[in-house]
Amino acid sequence: MTTRDYVDIGVLLGSLLLTWLQASKLRLPKRVRAWVNRVGLDDLVRFVEQAERYAGQTSEEKRLYVKALIIKKLHAQWPNIPESILNMLVEYAYQVWRTRKR
């Protein structure tokens, strides 16, 4: 094998590692994934899209709006959603929205 072959193998392994790291970045803890399933991933992304239509609001105000929409959807079955879960759902929704937007 030549030096060029080793370089090609190294580039291939590096790109595979980067691809794996990118995919694992969107992983959530099992408990939070259950909440994503309850809300529905498409609904989470739709909530973010609705919030992003309000150009005059700050990023924090938009996130609060998304939280309110999640609470409204789940309130009948789960009236007390932990704040930490809500925060993770909102941030995950924004990650998925940005990924789909590309």
Q: Which residues contact 62 (CB under 8 A, 6 or more apart)?
A: 48, 51, 52, 54
- Of 97, 94, 82, nearest to 38 by C-alpha is 82
* Three-class secondary structure of residue 34 per DSSP: helix
- Of 31, 60, 20, 8, nearest to 94 by C-alpha is 60
| Confidence at residue 23, expressed as pLDDT on a 0 to 100 scale | 60
Q: Are 85 and 32 in contact (CB under 8 A)?
A: yes
**pTM summary value:** 0.70
Span 33-71, pLDDT tens digits: 888 899 999 999 999 999 999 878 888 999 999 999 999
Structure tokens at 21: 């790291």
